[in-house]
Amino acid sequence: MVNSQEPTEIVVIGSGASGAAATWRLAKDGFRVVCLEQGPWVVPTEYPVTRANWEELVRTSWAYHPNIRQTHADYTVNDDDSAVKVLMYNAVGGSTIHWTAHVPRFHPSDFRVKTLDGVADDWPLTYWDLEPFYDENDVMMGCSGIIGDPANPERSPRQMPPIPLGPDGERMAKAFDRLGWHWWPSDSHVNSEPYRGREACNNCGPLGWGCSRRAKASTDATYLPEAIEHGAEVRANSTVFEIVTGSDGKAKGVNYYNEQSEACFQSARAVIVACNGIGTPRMLLHSASDSHPAGLANASGLVGKNLMFHVYAGASGVFPKGEEPVYKGPLANIIMSQEFYETDPTRDFVRGYTFQMGRSSGPASTAIGGVPWGQGHHGSFDARFGNMNGLGVIGEDLPIETNRVTLDSERKDRFGIPAPRVEYKLDDNSKRLLSHGVKQAHTALLEAGAVEVIENAHSVNGGWHLMGTARMGDDPERSVVDANCQSHDADNLFVIDGSVFVTGGGVNPTPTIQALALRTADYIKRERDDLRG
């Protein structure tokens, strides 16, 4: 028995970075919006960083990988055939609960890689099309930073000063200066001072596992409260299992299980999918119907294909003991270098990468993270704890059709919905890029004064950024959605998460995802009066 809910104008599936932004903007513009989120509201006092055993919790019930967490809100991901493990979080606020809020923007070149470098495809829009929405998102989330970065276009003033570099950040910046390499303080959606009712960062460190002060801009603390004030309804613990379409091929609404595990139907004039680059193709493929036999929005056959992560590697340096341990301050929002970001014909790979500086981890992580057991353990621990800095290599991952998401024929979630199956391999370009990045990271850390450097040639647990599986484009035969994130196959269906990315760039994708979501909402407001009423 399916319970029918009161019709609405827009239903948004997912309340993470993009879903929350679109929900806010559409509600603000007068649309009736229902946002369905399969996870719960998370109380900030329940974040693991408020407890003494936080390092245990972040490896169990608060782990980044849903297959380890296995909470009521999670679904299994079959990534047995993937070189990268899939990382995501299901809750109101989505993976912004778990992110570090490092928010560099794409470069203009990232939208034109086919034209500039002869690889992949160009986007059907430009950096300049997104710029006003980048700015709008920074106002809503709150950006700590400083303008003037020579590697990027001129920007509007940041809302707050940058997060302090700390002695470790200053040490690395001086090393980059001596090498003649670019560096700049990170743009961060972490408050360096109080902003819009949220407190400033207190430099406790591990903000990747929630921020009880709300200094980190997760969307449950930024977009969604204002969306609710504008009349939007956010239904937590609501697992959508199907987008329903009519004989005309258009979306009619969604079927979902509510908090009591009852099947419900929410009708709507339009459906917006914001389930990330894994969850979105799973949703579209599972919504096959007589009018969409190969899966919803899949006339091109590209739903689930061209999966991109960012390829990760890096190196960590052990430094002589200083006056202050270098685990103080946000985990990763310090400085970045884009010295090797653009294609250079003298190198043996195309496109490039960003260096992101990271700080030391907690005592338990240090003890099990390479410190030998037995004789010498305590001496080695003492040398490393609070004395390590890392340089992460965030490399551009080019789209390949065989890197893909399909529905698993055997594994299912608690409702019997097929799990996503991920097939992913690193290509030769990525391997050469990472090799170059690790060597340069080694050089930079030694220049900064490291007495020991530990290299990580490729991070298996780097699957933060889920992109490309419902790509945008002008040609319906080569893309799933158009430049407005509107499905080619059903004009009242929109996809607004990282799955629409044509290419991945060499930076964290969240601000670009949010800018695209705001741009899509703006398009709906300007051009789609038929979705009102």
Question: What average pLDDT does range 47-57 have in this prediction?
Answer: 87
Element housing 284 (H / E): helix 276-286
CA angle, residues 304, 307, 309, in degrees to nearest 5: 145
Residue 39 has pLDDT above 70, yes or no: yes
Nearest to 429 by CA among 504, 344, 348, 312: 348
pLDDT in tens, 89-145: 999 999 999 899 999 999 999 999 999 999 999 999 999 999 999 999 999 999 999
Q: How far apart are CA 336 and CA 186, in angstroms?
A: 6
Distance between first and last Cα of the chain: 28
pLDDT for position 177:
98
Residue 326 has pLDDT above 80, yes or no: no
Residue 369 has pLDDT above 90, yes or no: no
What are residue 353's DSSP bridge partners?
395
- β-pair type (33-36, 233-235): parallel
pLDDT for position 115:
98
Chain centre distance of CA 53: 26
pLDDT for position 533:
84
Which domain range does residue 226 map to? 3-144+151-203+211-531
Six-digit token string for 243: 């987008």
Residue at token pair 């949703």:
283
**Region of 186 on the Ramachandran plot (φ > 0 left; ψ -120 to 50 alpha; else beta):** beta
Question: What average pLDDT does range 260-268 have in this prediction?
Answer: 96
Residue 370 has pLDDT above 80, yes or no: no
Residue 186 has pLDDT above 60, yes or no: yes
Give every CB contact of residue 205 below 8 A, 6+ residues apart in sequence: 327, 328, 329, 330, 331, 359, 362
3-state secondary structure of 352: coil
pLDDT in tens, 61-93: 899 999 999 998 999 999 999 999 999 999 999
pLDDT for position 463:
83
Give every CB contact of residue 291 below 8 A, 6+ residues apart in sequence: 245, 246, 247, 248, 249
Helices marked H in 29-165: 54-57, 66-69, 113-117, 127-141
Residue 325 has pLDDT above 80, yes or no: no
pLDDT for position 20:
98
DSSP string, 513-524: HHHHHHHHHHHH
Tell me which of 2 and 343 has the higher pLDDT.
343
Residue 1 has pLDDT above 80, yes or no: no
Query: Lowest mean pLDDT: which of 135-144, 190-199, 324-333, 495-504?
Result: 324-333
Nearest to 466 by CA among 338, 189, 294, 274: 274
Q: How confident is residue 4, by pLDDT bands cut at 50, 70 and 90?
A: confident
Give every CB contact of residue 149 below 8 A, 6+ residues apart in sequence: 155, 184
Q: How far apart are CA 155 and CA 336, in angstroms?
A: 17
pLDDT in tens, 444-473: 999 999 999 999 888 887 788 999 999 999
pLDDT in tens, 161-174: 999 999 999 999 99
pLDDT for position 86:
93
- Percentage of the chain surpassing pLDDT 90? 83
Contact yes or no for 417/279 (Cβ under 8 A) = no
Q: How confident is residue 249, by pLDDT bands cut at 50, 70 and 90?
A: very high
Residue 527 has pLDDT above 80, yes or no: yes
> How many domains are there within the chain?
1
Q: Is 217 exposed, middle or buried (0-12, 13-18, 19+ CB in 10 A)?
A: buried
pLDDT in tens, 195-208: 999 999 998 878 88
DSSP state of 48: G
Contact yes or no for 341/504 (Cβ under 8 A) = no
pLDDT for position 6:
92
Contact yes or no for 21/514 (Cβ under 8 A) = yes
- Percentage of the chain surpassing pLDDT 70? 99
What Cα–Cα distance (Å) separates residue 439 from each residue in 118, 310, 316, 398?
26, 18, 12, 21
Nearest to 100 by CA among 38, 160, 58: 58
Listed in order, strand segments (DSSP E) in 284-387 are 311-318, 335-337, 353-358
DSSP string, 388-444: EEEEEEEE-----TTSEEEEEEEEE-TTSPEEEEEEE---HHHHHHHHHHHHHHHHH
Residue at token pair 């960083």:
49
pLDDT for position 323:
65
Specify the CATH number for the domain of residue 466: 3.50.50.60
How high is the mean pLDDT of the chain? 94
3-state secondary structure of 174: helix
Nearest to 49 by CA among 10, 17, 97, 96: 97
Q: How confident is residue 299, by pLDDT bands cut at 50, 70 and 90?
A: very high
Residue at token pair 């001072």:
193
Question: What average pLDDT does range 284-307 have in this prediction?
Answer: 97
* Length of the chain measured in residues: 533
Q: How confident is residue 385, by pLDDT bands cut at 50, 70 and 90?
A: confident
Q: Is 416 exposed, middle or buried (0-12, 13-18, 19+ CB in 10 A)?
A: exposed
DSSP state of 453: E
Nearest to 113 by CA among 349, 333, 337: 349
Contact yes or no for 316/453 (Cβ under 8 A) = yes
pLDDT for position 359:
87
Give every CB contact of residue 85 below 8 A, 6+ residues apart in sequence: 65, 79, 460, 461, 462, 463
Query: Lowest mean pLDDT: which of 206-210, 220-224, 309-313?
Result: 206-210
